[in-house]
Amino acid sequence: MDLELNEKVVLITGGSKGIGFACARAFAREGARVVIVSRTQENLDKARNSLRDEEIAVTCFVADLSVGSAAEEVVAAVEGQVGPICALINSAGGAKRVTPAELTPDKWRTAMDAKFFTYINVIDYALPRMVARRSGAIVNIVGTGGKLASPIHLPGGAANAALMLASAGLAAAWGHTGIRVNVINPGATMTDRVNMSLTAESRLTGKEPAELLRENQVRIPLGRYANPEEIADAALFLASARASYVTGASLTMDGALTPLVV
């Protein structure tokens, strides 16, 4: 199947680790010109070296995308140095897990900065350029916490819910220009963030993280957590020409843990 991504510029935020890194590898294998953004040079170097071992080259930028001016600079640099952004894959940031007893106003505000604004800031600067070209796809990777409240992920879940609404609204607002905006809602996925989530759950329940991991996987009908590469495959499709009539959609990928009709 030709996804028509060869030589297309794909900007992946949070592309140095986890799902974002899996997306970087997947898009590069389809022939895309991949640009990844991370908050630290160290993470970018690790990602670039790992991909280089697979004979994959990527362009890297360091930026804290929770800052609007940094997002503006990255988008301008990508378009000036690499080319017009065909697809934006947002996978940056993530709110820390906290128990209800640990909640403070700062925890809520920090979660919005870490997740909501890292996505929205880049969208606000990339989208007008896409609109001017009347072409572009945005895929926002947003955890299922935006659909189902978790007591250890309330600030992050609230940020996720806001992103889902913004994504659907932007899809409706700009569909007439050919812009598509979609959301992927991964459930638990085998990345470094799993340990953080299990540690927070351990504080709430008193159970050991290893025990919680076993219990959590047993509850999933497919019997396991997702792999980052599986989420990346969905992002590939949604960003490609094969999904040309898919917009405003929210794709849940949680192994049927929460069977919702939406």
Asked if the model's pLDDT at residue 227 lies above 90, the reply is yes
For each of the domains in the chain, give its residue range(s) and CATH number, in order of start. 9-253 (3.40.50.720)
Tell me the per-residue pLDDT of 107-162, one tens digit each, with 9 for 90 and over: 999 999 999 999 999 999 999 999 999 999 999 999 888 888 888 889 999 999 99
Exposed e or buried b per residue across 51-81, where buried means at least 16 C-beta atoms within 10 angstroms of its C-beta: beeeeeebbbbebbbbeeebbbebbeebbee
Q: Which of 138, 135, 134, 111 is nearest to 122 (CA)?
A: 138
Task: Dump pLDDT digits (tens) for 177-188.
Answer: 999 999 999 998
Tens-place pLDDT, residues 174-216 = 999 999 999 999 998 988 777 777 887 888 788 898 888 888 8
Q: Quick check: 126 and 47 in contact, CB under 8 A?
A: no
Q: Where are the beta strands (DSSP E) in the chain?
A: 9-13, 33-38, 59-62, 85-90, 136-141, 179-186, 250-253
Tell me the two tokens of residue 164: 């889902």
What is the pLDDT, as a whole number, of residue 41?
A: 97
Q: Tell me which residue has tokens 């170097």.
A: 45
SS3 of residue 86 by DSSP: strand
Distance CA 252, CA 262 (A): 10
pTM above the 0.85 mark? yes
Q: Which amino acid is at 235?
A: A
Q: What is the structure's pLDDT at 201?
A: 80
Helix/strand/coil for 91: coil
